[in-house]
Amino acid sequence: MTHYPAVSLKRGKEESVLRRHPWIFSGAVKSLPPGLAEGDTVSVLASDGTPLGTGYYQIGSIAVRMYSFSARTIDTAFFCHRIAAALRLRRALGLVREDNNALRLVHGEGDRLPGLVVDLFGATAVVQAHTVAMHRQRQAVADALKDVLGDALHAVYYKSEGTLPFKANTGAKDGYLLGGEEEGGEADSVALENGLRFRIDWLEGQKTGFFVDQRDNRDLLRRYAQGRNVLNMCCYTGGFSVYALAGGAERVCSVDSSSRAVELTDENVRLNFPDTDRHEAVEADAFRFLQDGGAKKYDLVVLDPPAFAKHRDAVPQALRGYTRLNELALRHMPAGSLLFTFSCSQAVSRQQFRLAVFTAAARTRRHVSILHQLTQPADHPVSIYHPEGEYLKGLVLYVE
């Protein structure tokens, strides 16, 4: 067993660790060992010296994130053990099958690997570190992925430039190969989700290249799309648009402020419906598009904006943004419409988001009913000891 520098807690501050919460805040720390660097693995001790587990140190309000609530050596074997457990869960969920090879394999604290995200797209894994420690462990993670997945894995890409802490002096770059071979052609970058095909831009796309967290919600939209005119705002790669077409939508309009997103959406539509004339993609600002009455012609609208609040200080402004966006849509949608509306801001609570949408509805004085309350799928698990892991919130509304 490897011995690590010890972080000691103040008296009484071990209670959250004993309840298996994986974060230790800086105010709970009594002393740090000299020379400790961000990302170093540490042993955590109660004030009386009782061992509490193994974690890693980071600079900021969260001083330690826990790898384990027992003494562990943190090496490739440790990552193999955790990733193998995560894979067993995904297989038990039925996500690894012929018509679906796009899924989240590792979801941070939900899979007991805080600060680490791994998405699988067929034979390619995309690794994303959210902390300096996981950045430093990136090669051990890649080696563990190859050990666990074997011949089913051809390539491991690293994509963390946009997720590492601001000013972290890591020298991280995006889109480089950690293991395996470069993909050989266009077919290698196409993943299957519920039988539908999507081009994954894991080199330059947002996050890991595709938002797998909306898979179940896209499938729900497919059930409602028959015969409807669908507006997909902030479409990114057009996931909701493709599902709407698969569900028999009369026509679909995809809107995004990014020209690259519009191109990817058009490409994904062509991958699945090469001869369709039911789809158009528009490059436009979401607020301006809706303010100009853009929702008037559509009886199913999707509002899936990027995170408006990446930290708690931004929450008030984010709530105003969610309220305004939903109000603009609700004000112009025809009677009998459906609104799929989302927030992916972890700092915004489910109650706060619902209140923002309620405020939007109240301002329009329309009758609005909640049909579904949505969240992230099961391959984005939330540890019962870490409710902060729940970040995706959604509502399906019926608008009269």
Closest CA to 42 of 33, 247, 50: 33
Amino acid (1-letter code) at residue 164: L
Q: Is 344 a residue of the active site?
A: yes
- Alpha carbons 287 and 299: distance in angstroms, whole number: 18
Q: Burial-class residue 140 by CB neighbours within 10 Å (0-12, 13-18, 19+).
A: middle
* The two three-digit tokens of residue 192, written as one number: 């299957």
Cβ-based neighbours of 14, under 8 Å, separated by 6 or more: 46, 47, 50, 52
Angstrom CA distances, 118 to 33, 53, 156, 238, stand at 32, 24, 10, 22
Closest CA to 261 of 187, 314, 326, 210: 210
- Alpha carbons 79 and 110: distance in angstroms, whole number: 14
- Alpha carbons 188 and 241: distance in angstroms, whole number: 22
Task: Pick the catalytic residue from 234, 235, 253, 344.
Answer: 344
β-pairing verdict for 6-9 and 51-57: unpaired
Can you name the residues that pair with 282 across neighbouring β-strands? 255
Active site residues: 344
